[in-house]
């Protein structure tokens, strides 16, 4: 997983997976990507960065279940405007956390939970029922995709043990394109 340079083969596979052949008409464009990054003080990880700039910024046909959101969009059921999203603050987790089953929650669990939802990630889309896919854009997990729901957060990728798929945005899309369930441990 190279989060600093787009692989042409991955971009071709992404274009095929989303069946995008509109000459970049549904893409955000580099000027808008740079403006989004400057506004939020981040650099989007590759190949997602090039994907939204040159291929498409959102799609009804792609993963997840209800389509891929635009880079700046949130799911309809996201919550109130009072939630302050800070993409430049690091995503706080390094491993899965199932807060619903945590017998010893941290003293500051509520503050940590707020950070899990709102720091260092963009929302790729939803599977419904408050199960949202996030692309981590800041911190040690940068470039990884996480499923964050109302009961916990788990990283996507074979090295994390919840799936046989490659990590990152391209691995997540490839897994979906092969019509595999998101949770398919080896």
Model confidence pLDDT, tens digit, residues 44-70: 999 999 999 999 998 887 777 788 999
pLDDT of residue 25: 64
pLDDT at 4 over 90: no
CATH 3.40.1580 is right for the domain spanning 8-177: yes
Q: Counting Cβ atoms within 10 Å, is residue 67 exposed (0-12), middle (13-18) or buried (19+)?
A: middle
Question: In the predicted model, what is the mean pLDDT of residues 144-148?
Answer: 95
Average pLDDT in the chain: 86
Token pair 């309809």 in the structure block, residue = 76
- Please tell me whether residue 147 adopts helix, strand or coil conformation: strand
Predicted pLDDT at 2 = 82
pTM: 0.90
pLDDT reading at 26 higher than 80: yes
76-121 confidence digits (pLDDT tens): 877 655 567 899 999 999 998 887 776 666 667 788 888 999 999 9
DSSP of 69-138, one letter per residue? PPTT---TTS--TT---BTTSPP--SS-B-GGG-SS--TTHHHHHHHHHHBSEEEEEEEETTEEEEEE-S
The full set of domain ranges for the chain reads 8-177
């Amino acid at each position: 997983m190279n989060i600093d340079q787009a692989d042409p083969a991955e971009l071709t596979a992404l274009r095929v997976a989303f069946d995008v052949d509109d000459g970049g008409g549904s893409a955000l464009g580099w000027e808008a990507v740079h403006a989004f990054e400057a506004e939020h003080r981040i650099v989007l990880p590759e190949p997602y960065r090039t994907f939204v700039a040159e291929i498409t910024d959102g799609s009804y046909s792609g993963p997840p279940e209800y389509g891929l959101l635009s880079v700046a969009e949130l799911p309809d059921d996201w919550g109130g405007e009072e939630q302050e999203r800070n993409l430049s603050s690091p995503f706080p987790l390094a491993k899965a956390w199932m807060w619903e089953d945590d017998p010893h929650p941290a003293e500051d669990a509520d503050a940590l939970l707020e950070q899990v939802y709102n720091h260092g990630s963009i929302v790729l889309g939803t599977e419904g029922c408050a199960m949202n896919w996030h692309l981590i854009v800041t911190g040690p997990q940068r470039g990884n995709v996480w499923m964050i729901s109302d009961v916990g957060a788990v990283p996507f990728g074979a090295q994390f043990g919840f799936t046989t798929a490659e990590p990152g945005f391209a691995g997540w899309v490839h897994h979906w394109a092969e019509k595999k369930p998101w949770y398919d441990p080896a």
